[in-house]
Amino acid sequence: MSERAEALAGVIRDRRVTRSYGPGAIAREELEALVEAAYRAPHGGGRRPVKFVVLAGGPQLRRVIDASPGILGRPAALIVLCLDWSRAPHLEIDDPRTTHSLQIDAGAAMENILLTAEALGIGAGPVTSFNRPTVARLLELPHDWTPLIIVTLGRLKTPRVARPQDDDIGVRIGAVTTWHEGEAMTEKAPVDPEHVRDAFLELMLYLAAAARGNVDEQVGYGPLRLLEGAQRAVRSLERFGLADADLQAFQERVTAEGMKVTKDPDHARVVADDLLALLSRRLGVGA
């Protein structure tokens, strides 16, 4: 493992929920580093639905702690992760498909805060046992924000002792992990009828899954999914050694510009038109 990977593995290994804090505030720069870490978390569809409310003292801090049975001890600061529903205007607020993705976004932001806190030597813990409407009122949140997770923060009572690699970690991980191993996707396959049939069936699987998903997806994803279908066809050609530089360039373009295609219909038109021009040329149409 590289030094960087070792350092990260150590932070992940040592992180534990802190529920009892020593005296001392969390400095503004530390809180900013934690919020920055949360802001950098991945978020589905580029929506950025998570908003952060930082409570570093004052009556609101005390009151939010009191409205939260899940907060044990007296943390010096809180970061309240809120979902801003106005970031997902295309779907119903109560739609489980929307909540699913947005909650994962908040979870990713939460974990970035917890790991950064660990790296900074700050005690931290996630809390979801709190009264949401009361916390929303106490913080005077906009009506379309829901407080979803509170991260408690405070000084450690005693410095964290690095945890050794547990002897039975492999066994414990084995109990919760299923492995499927085999050849890599890009492994070359000879062009024989069985492989060609599998390539078509897999493309059909993608197309059916994309069609099903698209019924529920945001407007704008349809053209992207179709371009991705074309990409997958190229990937099969690559496996058979039949793709060339033109097709690979198209491949990379869809990968690089996919999100823009979903957001900007003009861009979707340009990328699709370019693909059509490429294919017409290759098929000798108008050549």
Ligand X SMILES: Cc1cc2nc3c(=O)[nH]c(=O)nc-3n(C[C@H](O)[C@H](O)[C@H](O)COP(=O)(O)O)c2cc1C
Q: Which residues bind ligand X (CB under 6 A)?
A: 16-17, 19, 70, 72, 125-129
Closer Cβ to ligand X, 45 or 125, answer by number: 125
Closer Cβ to ligand X, 72 or 270, answer by number: 72
In whole angstroms, the minimum distance from the beta carbon of 127 to ligand X comes to 4
Closer Cβ to ligand X, 128 or 280, answer by number: 128
In whole angstroms, the minimum distance from the beta carbon of 139 to ligand X comes to 18
Closer Cβ to ligand X, 152 or 236, answer by number: 152
Which DSSP helix (H) or strand (E) runs through 79? Answer: strand 77-84
**Tokens, residue 260:** 């823009």
* CB-based contact 127:27 (threshold 8 Å): no
In whole angstroms, the minimum distance from the beta carbon of 71 to ligand X comes to 7
Task: Tell me the C-alpha distance between 228 and 70, whole Å.
Answer: 44
Task: Give me the residue whose beta carbon is nearest to ligand X.
Answer: 70
In whole angstroms, the minimum distance from the beta carbon of 125 to ligand X comes to 6
Task: Tell me the C-alpha distance between 155 and 208, whole Å.
Answer: 52
Task: Tell me the C-alpha distance between 56 and 128, whole Å.
Answer: 19
In whole angstroms, the minimum distance from the beta carbon of 105 to ligand X comes to 13
Closest C-alpha to 247, from 208, 220, 279, 223? 279
Task: Tell me the C-alpha distance between 260 and 71, whole Å.
Answer: 41
Residues near 145 by beta carbon (within 8 Å), at least 6 away in sequence = 51, 82, 83, 84, 85, 136
In whole angstroms, the minimum distance from the beta carbon of 83 to ligand X comes to 14
Task: Tell me the C-alpha distance between 231 and 237, whole Å.
Answer: 10
Closer Cβ to ligand X, 131 or 218, answer by number: 131
Closer Cβ to ligand X, 149 or 210, answer by number: 149
Helices (H), 71-165: 96-120, 132-138
